[in-house]
């Protein structure tokens, strides 16, 4: 079916743990009267974010076959193609990329693939910046690219830094991307109208950063020191042991843990425990009760630099009840 007006697309990016899922939930809540398709791309072969996103009338599609910027472009084109064929017209598409993704190839998909370019247009590329931790990541390729490609920078966790740190960060961000609008927030708290529907994406600006963006040979390399591990366990865990292990991880390994999150099946608790952490900031909360048809299982993801798989596995096994 031919679409007269292209469907607007919001690309949401940002390094691991910057607060993308919190923002996504807020956007979906504010757009609950619209039909929105959400495409979530997770790094690694598991997907916990799907469980964290609030259920509303949008459709959530997940791409788990790798990083959206490497081998997923074909998947993305197929998904968009299927969305166009639906009876009911979409009001918007939101793509949340993995924290390890360079957004360039996603942007490229909407510019290069003729059919996709006709049916969709990029409204905004929003990069969330973790004000507290971004300094540690600016030597990495991905966060730098994410900041460079944004037309909106949402500097989150402002409550965790001082006024001086904010001024220093602002100077760095202006140096890296002078054209982006900057919003400072805590807990992703921002008026959705500032982010959505303003057509803030400008191709000229993006081509200034990367003149080769529209050449097919564009590719990038992940930082191979950054790895992700997933652990699953059907046997219940012991609350006390889990607390001890996480206390150790946060204290000793916090610097190299970029992001860790998961759902835990605890012997002592009726409900599941949902947790997430970034470096040394860690929060665990009691989630929903396990559904009758749901397998009770712990699933934990660690993403970080120079992580020791054997050591993490041993720690996870120690937590068994």
Report residue 50's pLDDT band, with 50, 70 and 90 as the boundaries: low
Q: Is 167 found in the same domain as 61?
A: yes
Residue 283, domain extent: 226-318
**Same domain flag for 46 and 117:** yes
| 155 and 237 housed in the same domain | no
For the record, the structure tokens of 226 come out as 């950054």
pTM over 0.85: no
**Do both 153 and 302 map to the same domain?**
no
CA distance linking residue 118 with residue 262, whole number of Å? 39
Number of domains in the chain: 2
Q: Give the β-pairing of 181-184 and 59-63.
A: unpaired
Residue 34 belongs to some domain of the structure: yes
Which of 209, 244, 275 is the last residue before a domain boundary? 209
- 69-180-200-90 Cα dihedral, nearest 10 degrees: 40
Assess if residue 221 is contained within a domain.
no
Domain's final residue, options 174, 209, 244: 209
On whether both 299 and 170 belong to a single domain, the answer is no
Same-domain status, 82 and 135: yes
Of 23-32, 197-206, 240-249, 286-295, the range with the lowest mean pLDDT is: 197-206
Residue 35 has pLDDT above 70, yes or no: yes
pLDDT digits (tens, 9 = 90+) for 206-222: 777 777 766 655 455 55
User: Domain end: 209, 239, 269, which one?
Assistant: 209
DSSP H/E element including 282: strand 281-289
Please report which helix (H) or strand (E) contains residue 181, including its range: strand 181-184
For residue range 122-166, what is the model confidence (pLDDT) as tens digits? 999 999 999 998 888 887 777 888 888 888 999 999 999 999 999
Domain CATH code at residue 33: 3.40.50.300
Work out whether strand 152-156 and strand 120-130 pair parallel, antiparallel, or are unpaired. parallel
- For residue 154, list its beta bridge partners: 128, 183
Pair (203, 237) in one structural domain? no
Residues 32, 132 share a domain: yes
Report how far Cα 112 is from the mean position of its chain's Cα atoms. 24
Same domain, 199 and 281: no
Asked whether residue 77 is domain-assigned, the answer is yes
């Amino acid at each position: 079916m031919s679409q007269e007006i292209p469907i607007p697309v919001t690309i949401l990016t940002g390094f691991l743990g910057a607060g993308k899922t919190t923002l996504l939930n807020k956007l979906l809540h504010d757009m609950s009267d619209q039909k929105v398709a959400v495409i979530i791309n997770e790094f690694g072969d598991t997907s916990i974010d799907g469980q964290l996103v609030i259920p509303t009338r949008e459709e959530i599609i997940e791409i788990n076959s790798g990083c959206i910027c490497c081998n997923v472009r074909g998947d993305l084109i197929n998904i968009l193609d299927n969305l166009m064929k639906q009876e009911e017209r979409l009001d918007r598409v939101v793509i949340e990329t993995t924290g390890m993704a360079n957004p360039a190839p996603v942007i490229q998909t909407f510019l290069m693939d003729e059919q996709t370019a006709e049916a969709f247009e990029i409204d905004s590329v929003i990069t969330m910046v973790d004000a507290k931790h971004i300094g540690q990541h600016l030597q990495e390729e991905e966060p730098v690219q994410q900041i460079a490609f944004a037309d909106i920078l949402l500097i989150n966790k402002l409550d965790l830094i001082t006024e001086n740190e904010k001024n220093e960060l602002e100077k760095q961000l202006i140096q890296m991307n002078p054209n982006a609008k900057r919003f400072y927030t805590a807990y992703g708290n921002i008026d959705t109208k500032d982010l959505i529907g303003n057509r803030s994406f400008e191709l000229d600006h993006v081509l200034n950063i990367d003149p080769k963006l529209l050449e097919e040979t564009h590719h990038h390399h992940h930082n191979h020191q950054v790895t992700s591990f997933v652990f699953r366990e059907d046997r219940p865990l012991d609350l006390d042991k889990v607390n001890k292990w996480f206390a150790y991880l946060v204290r000793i390994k916090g610097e190299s843990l970029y992001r860790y999150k998961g759902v835990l099946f605890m012997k002592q608790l009726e409900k599941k425990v949902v947790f997430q952490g970034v470096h040394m900031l860690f929060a665990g909360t009691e989630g929903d009760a396990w559904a009758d048809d749901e397998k009770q299982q712990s699933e934990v993801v660690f993403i970080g630099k120079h992580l020791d798989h054997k050591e993490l596995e041993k720690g996870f096994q120690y937590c068994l009840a």
